Amino acid sequence: MRIDILTVVPELLESPFQHSIIKRGRDKGLVEIVVHNIRDFSEDKHRKVDDYAFSGGAGMVMTIQPIESAINFLKAQREYDAVIYTSPDGIQLNQKESNKLSLLNNIIIICGHYKGIDQRIREHLVTMEISIGDYVLTGGELAAAVIVDSVVRLIPGVLSDETSALTDSFQDNLLSPPVYTRPADYNGWKVPEILLSGNDKLINEWQEKLAYERTKKLRPDLLKNE
């Protein structure tokens, strides 16, 4: 999978993909993540990427030309399955959407800034808009990082334990059961006996029961979506 991210603040995306599991996925060649500065595509001599809104009022709007040029540059090199725009207007990201995105080959993510991008980019170039929640961020970069993180870990081979993505919270519309590690007794705080029993069948049943109970208590809405 290849992910190209278009942003006016590339610095914001320098770190999130350089560590831990995402780094491992990149090092193994399972995903390529390339961050582009939209200014590099501006035909303006001052590398301008925004202008006043026709409607007036405060805030600048990102112009069409640099974004279209960046997309054309990328599309001349390979085919893209999706051009995503990060926006609070979009469909809300959830595990099901991340699963679907992880099956795509190449995607472009446009990070919005200022007051947003010219509506005509959304109409003619963007194929899907994704929100990471009902709140407004100062720009789309952190949203892009969240989308990429949730998608890349689902690409087969990225997680070392192949099954661990399958037991994630939300994977079956259930929250994860609680987990414990040594010591079995920390100053009187004890690990549930059953986990020390060595009986895999009973442990599995216990985990399933707790996953269901936790979901029912904390996120009953997930059970209704089935």
Q: Which residues are annotated as part of the binding site for S-adenosyl-L-methionine?
A: 112, 132-137
- Per CB under 6 A, contacts with ligand ADE among 148-207 are none
Please report how close the Cβ of residue 200 comes to ligand ADE at its closest, in angstroms.
41
42: contact with ligand ADE by CB under 6 A: no
Please report how close the Cβ of residue 30 comes to ligand ADE at its closest, in angstroms.
25
Contact present, 143 and 137 (Cβ < 8 Å): yes
Please report how close the Cβ of residue 122 comes to ligand ADE at its closest, in angstroms.
13
Contact present, 13 and 5 (Cβ < 8 Å): yes
Please report how close the Cβ of residue 114 comes to ligand ADE at its closest, in angstroms.
11
Rounded Cα gap, residues 198 and 148, in angstroms: 37
54: contact with ligand ADE by CB under 6 A: no
126: contact with ligand ADE by CB under 6 A: no
Distance of CA 179 to the CA centre of its chain: 25
Kindly give, in sequence order, each residue whose CB lies less than 8 Å from that of residue 6, ignoring residues fewer than 6 positions away.
Answer: 36, 38, 67, 70, 71, 108, 109, 110, 111
H/E stretch holding 69: helix 64-75
Contact present, 155 and 107 (Cβ < 8 Å): no
Rounded Cα gap, residues 206 and 195, in angstroms: 9
Binders of ligand ADE: how many residues, by CB under 6 A? Answer: 12
Please report how close the Cβ of residue 87 comes to ligand ADE at its closest, in angstroms.
5
Tell which one of 112, 121, 126, 150 touches ligand ADE (CB under 6 A): 112
Tell which one of 7, 86, 102, 150 touches ligand ADE (CB under 6 A): 86
Residue 58 or 136: which CB sits closer to ligand ADE?
A: 136
Q: What's the one-letter identity of residue 94? A: N
Nearest residue to 85 (alpha-carbon basis) of 143, 2, 168: 143
Nearest residue to 4 (alpha-carbon basis) of 128, 103, 114, 106: 106
Residue 143 or 174: which CB sits closer to ligand ADE?
A: 143
Contact present, 175 and 214 (Cβ < 8 Å): yes
Residue 106 or 139: which CB sits closer to ligand ADE?
A: 139
Please report how close the Cβ of residue 34 comes to ligand ADE at its closest, in angstroms.
20
133: contact with ligand ADE by CB under 6 A: yes
Tell which one of 67, 140, 151, 174 touches ligand ADE (CB under 6 A): 140
Binding-site ranges for ligand ADE (CB under 6 A):
86-88, 112, 131-133, 135-137, 140, 143
